[in-house]
Amino acid sequence: MSRPASDPSGLPIGLRLAFPLALVAIALAVFWPCIDYPFVALDDDANFELNFLYRGLGDEQLRWMWGWKGYHYGHWHPLTWTTFGWDYARAGLDAPSYHRTSLGIHALSVLTFWWLALELLRWCTGRVRAQGERGEATGGGRSGELALHGCAALATLAWAIHPLRVENVVWLTERRDLLSALFLFASVAAYLRMCRVGARRGAWLALALATYALSLLSKAWGMTLPVVLLALDVFPMRRLASTSWRALLVEKLWFVPLAALTAFQAAAAQREIAATVTLDEHGVLHRLAQASYGLCFYVLKTLWPSNLGCHYLLELDFDPRSALHLAAIASVVAITVLTFLLRRRAPALFAAWFLYAVLVSPVLGILQSGAQKVADRYAQLGAIPLVFLGAGALLVWLDRRQASAARAPLVLLASLAPFALVLGFFTRAQVRVWSSSEALFQRAVAADPDNYFVLHNLAVMLYRRQAWAEAIEVEQRSVDAHPGRGNEFARHTLGLLYQMQGRMDEAERVWRTAVEWQPEPEDPRWRGRLEFWLPDPSLCLTALRGPLGGRGAWAELAELYERGIARRPDVVQLYTDLDGLYAQLGRPQERVALWERAEKVAGLPRARVEAGLGRALLAAGRARDAESHMFKAVVLERTGAQDTLDALAQATQRSGLPATLELFERARRASVPASMVENGIGKAYLAANRLLEAEPYLLRAQALDSQSRGYVVDVCELFLKQGRREDAVRNLRALLDIDPQNARAKALLAQAAGGGR
C-alpha cells in the first residue's frame, strides 16, 4: 500500500525541527524560575522531607516503590517514585534539583504533545484516511504543511504554557501528572500512527501498549484511554467506514487489562488512607451536581484562567439544588444535547465534548475522595480536546481559504510569538505563586477567603516564622470557618499559638472546645448530620495533658476523655490515650472495662481493640485471659504486632524459660505468623543467654521476614553477645543507611562502638 500523501516532505527538515525546538525553548523559559524553589508544605514535606522510604535506588527502596501494595498518601505510582529516588541518589534533599528533573520531563512532554498534535490534526482535517478507505486526502502542498505545523504549534503552546499547567509542573508532588501525560501522549500518537501506516502495525501497537503501561505506572488517571481510542476511531479517523465495531472493540482489548489493574490499584490506595467518601456522606445528586460543576469549571478556567488557587474546597453545606449547581447541571445537559443533535453537521463538537468528559471523569467526584471539589492540575488532560477543537477548526478554515489567501499560514505563524508572549506572561505570574509555602497559601486564601484548609496551612507558615499575632488571627478564621470534624488540627494549633504567648487560659479554652463545641442552631452546615460532623477531640485532649497534669487534675482529664468517647465512640485513639491515663493512675480494672466497651463499638479497628484489651488484662494479672486477645491482634494486623507479642512474652518470662517456650507453641497453634514465633523463641533463648540455641531461631525469623528491621537488630544483639562485633557493626550501619531514625539500632551501634557486650 502506498504511503499517504500527507507526509510532511513539503517542508525542509530544518524548518520541521525548528517548530518543536522552539516550543521546548518557550516552555523552559516560562517555567524556568521554579528551578530555585523549595519544597512546599502541601504534601511535599510528607512525600520527601519526612519520607525515608524513597531515598535512593537500593533494593530496599525499589521494593517499596514497586511493591503491589506500596501505597503512600493514597497513590500507587512506582515509576514516579523511581524518578524521585534517582533525584535523591544524586542530590539528596536539594529541591532545585528535583525541579530541574520535573522541568526536563515537561520539556519531553512538549515534544510528545507536538507529535500527537501533528498526528491528530492530520486526521481532523482529512489529510489522511484510515486504511481500507478509497482515495487519499491531500495535504495542500507546502502552504498546507505550514498551516498544519502552525496550528499544531498553537495547540502545543495553548496546552504547554497555560496557567493551569503550573500546578502540574511546579508542584513536585504532582510530577506524577507530568510523567503520566508524557507517556500517554506517546501512546495515543503511536496508536494514530499505527492506524495510518501500512507497515509495522505490530510495532506501533507494541509501542502504544508499552508507553500506556509506563503512563499508568506513573499515575492512574489514563485509565480511560480504551474509551478515548474508541472515540477517536469514530471521529476524526472515521474507521467505521472500513472496519466493524467488533473489530475496533477487539483491538482495544489489549489496553483494557492494564486500565483495569491500575483502576483497582488506584481505588485500593484511596481506601488505604480512608479518603473515599461514602454515598451516605455525599449522595448521588451531590455527585451529579459536583461532576457538572467540574465539567463547567475546567472549560471556563481554560478559557479564562483567573483567581487560581492550590485548593478548591468541597463546601460543608454543599447544596446540589443551589442556583450555581443547578445552572451547572443545566449547562452540561444543554451542551450534551446540542452537540449530540449536531453530531452529523459538526461531528468535531460532539467528539471534543465527549472526549473531554471521558478524560476528566476520574476526577469529577463521581467516586469522591477527600475534601477537594476541583483542582487546577486536573485540567491537564481535560484541556486537550479543547485546544485541538480550536486548532482543528482554524486549520480547516485555513485549508478552505488557501486558494484566495495563500499567505494565511504565514500570518498564523507570525501570530504565534505574541500569543506565546501573552500566555507566558500570565503563566510566569502563576509560577511565582509557588515560590514559597506562605506565598502559595496567601494566594489560595485570596482566591477563597473561607477555605479552612488553606487558612490553617497559612497559619502554620506564620507560626513557623514566629508571626504569632497574625497566625492566631488566621487560625481563628480557620476554626470559625469549620469548627467540626476535619479541622481538628486548626483548633489544636490555635491552642499551641496561645501557649507560645503564655496565654494558657486561652489555650486550654480552645482545646476544651474539641469536646464542648456545639453548633449554632441556625447553622445549615450541620442540619441532620451533626453526629457525623462532631470533631475528633483526641489531639486537643493530648495537648491538655500538660496543663491539667501540671496541676494534678488527672481525674478531670479522664472525665474529658470519657466525654470525648461518648461523642465520638468511633475514634480508637481516645481509647488508647485513656487506657494510658488509667495505667498511669493505677486503675487496671477500669482499663479492662474501657476496652470491653470498645469491643461492642462497630467500626473500630479490631486489631487495636484486641491488643488493647489483651494488654489491659495483662496489667490486671490475667495473663492467660490476655493470650487469646493478643494472638487475635497479631493475626489481624502486623503493624505493632511484634510489640504486642513481646509484652506477653515478657510477662510470661517471670515463670521461666519453659513457660515462655510453651507460650510461643500456643501462639503457633493460634496461627500467629511463623516469623514472629521464631523471633520470640530466639529472643527468649537470648534473654536466658543461651546463644547457640537462640541463633537458628533469630536467623530463621529474619529469613522469613526480610523486611523487619527489628529482626535485624535482634540478630545484631546476638552477634554482639557472641563477640562478633564486626558483623554487628556492619549490619547496623547498613540498617541505619535506610532507616537513620531507628533508635534501637543507634543505641546498639553506640554500645558496639564502646566495646560493650
Cell digits for 104?
526536563
Contact residues for 404 (Cβ-Cβ < 8 A; gap 6+): none
For range 491-495, the mean pLDDT? 96
Residue 405 has pLDDT above 60, yes or no: no
pLDDT for the residue 757:
45
Residue 756 has pLDDT above 90, yes or no: no
Share of the chain above pLDDT 70, in %: 95
Radius of gyration of the chain (CA): 31
Distances (CA, A) of 88 to 67, 145, 178, 590: 19, 44, 19, 49
Residue 265 has pLDDT above 60, yes or no: yes
Residue 169 has pLDDT above 60, yes or no: yes
Cell digits for 657?
524459660
391, 151 contact by CB (below 8 A): yes
State in Å, rounded, how far the first CA of the chain is from the last one.
Answer: 81
Give the model confidence (pLDDT) of 679-714 as tens digits: 999 999 999 999 999 999 999 999 998 888 899 999
CA atoms within 13 A on the CB side of 519: 20
Confidence of residue 1 (pLDDT cuts 50, 70, 90): very low
Hey, is 254 helix, strand or coil? coil
Scan for cell 507560645, then name that residue: 500
pLDDT for the residue 132:
45
For range 54-63, the mean pLDDT? 92
Residue 7 has pLDDT above 60, yes or no: no
Scan for cell 488508647, then name that residue: 576
Separation between Cα atoms, residue 249 and residue 253, nearest integer Å: 7
719, 730 contact by CB (below 8 A): no
Share of the chain above pLDDT 90, in %: 75
pLDDT for the residue 135:
38
**DSSP state, 372?**
E
Separation between Cα atoms, residue 290 and residue 78, nearest integer Å: 30
Residue 534 has pLDDT above 60, yes or no: yes
Give the model confidence (pLDDT) of 410-436 as tens digits: 888 888 999 999 999 999 999 999 999
Cell digits for 650?
515478657
53, 186 contact by CB (below 8 A): no
Give the model confidence (pLDDT) of 347-389 as tens digits: 999 999 999 999 999 999 888 777 889 999 999 999 999 999 9
Residue 589 has pLDDT above 70, yes or no: yes
**Lowest mean pLDDT segment, chosen from 138-142, 692-696, 751-755:** 138-142
pLDDT for the residue 413:
85
Adjacent-strand bridge partners of 374: 312
For range 140-163, the mean pLDDT? 91
Separation between Cα atoms, residue 391 and residue 750, nearest integer Å: 67
Residue 21 has pLDDT above 70, yes or no: yes
pLDDT for the residue 4:
43
Hey, is 507 helix, strand or coil? helix
Confidence of residue 403 (pLDDT cuts 50, 70, 90): low
Confidence of residue 137 (pLDDT cuts 50, 70, 90): very low
Can you give the pTM of this predicted structure? 0.85
Separation between Cα atoms, residue 17 and residue 13, nearest integer Å: 6
Confidence of residue 596 (pLDDT cuts 50, 70, 90): very high
Whats the size of the chain, residue-wise? 757
As a whole number, the mean pLDDT across the chain is 91
For range 225-245, the mean pLDDT? 94
Separation between Cα atoms, residue 143 and residue 125, nearest integer Å: 14
153, 416 contact by CB (below 8 A): yes
564, 515 contact by CB (below 8 A): yes
- Between the ranges 29-38, 483-492, 526-535, where is the mean pLDDT highest? 29-38
60, 738 contact by CB (below 8 A): yes
Confidence of residue 130 (pLDDT cuts 50, 70, 90): low
Residue 114 has pLDDT above 60, yes or no: yes
Separation between Cα atoms, residue 587 and residue 690, nearest integer Å: 37
Cell digits for 35?
528551578
Confidence of residue 66 (pLDDT cuts 50, 70, 90): very high
Confidence of residue 533 (pLDDT cuts 50, 70, 90): confident
Separation between Cα atoms, residue 178 and residue 199, nearest integer Å: 31
Distances (CA, A) of 442 to 49, 402, 434, 439: 22, 51, 10, 5
* DSSP per-residue string spanning 383-449: HHHHHHHHHHHHHHHHHHTTTT-TTHHHHHHHHHHHHHHHHHHHHHHHHHHTTSHHHHHHHHHHH-T
Give the model confidence (pLDDT) of 551-567 as tens digits: 999 999 999 999 999 99
pLDDT for the residue 139:
53
176, 80 contact by CB (below 8 A): yes
pLDDT for the residue 315:
87
639, 657 contact by CB (below 8 A): no
pLDDT for the residue 136:
43
Confidence of residue 639 (pLDDT cuts 50, 70, 90): confident
